[in-house]
Amino acid sequence: MMDIFNCPSCNSLFVMTKFRDVCDACYKEEEAKYDKVYAYIRKKINRTASMMQVVKDTGVEEILIIKFVKTGKLRISQFPNLGIPCEKCGTQIKSGRLCDNCGDSLRADLQAFEDEERRLTENLGNDKKNTYYMKDNQEG
């Protein structure tokens, strides 16, 4: 069964596929903008351009350029001053979703959570070991 969605750009109906997340008209528009960005940064003098400079000189939205990078259309390894923002703090990074600091912080938080879970589980088990029951045998 096909899934019909509204295009996030123009709000028209389209069939979403794993290859496209916008309608055909917006896809063609995105491709034209991609060509414009790629032609701009391919020039030797523009290879060191920052994200803001590319946005200003091409007129293409930053969100769309980030989408090109995340989908693999633009490889920022070839362009030293381009980067994508960390999803937590916004620092420019070359790959992934989180910068090193945010990744380390998340790992530390997860480790602390796992340690706390382990401690609670051990305490629960120890409570059962240290509980004694007496049977009251009163004859009467």
Q: What is the mean pLDDT of residues 105-112?
A: 94
Evaluate if residue 11 carries a pLDDT over 80: yes
User: What is the number of helices (H) and of strands (E) in the chain?
Assistant: 4, 4
Cα 37 versus chain centre, distance: 22
- Residue type at 23 in one-letter notation: C
Residue 15: strand pairing partners? 4
Provide the token pair at 61. 């939205």
pLDDT tens digits, one per residue of 30-45:
999 999 999 999 898 8
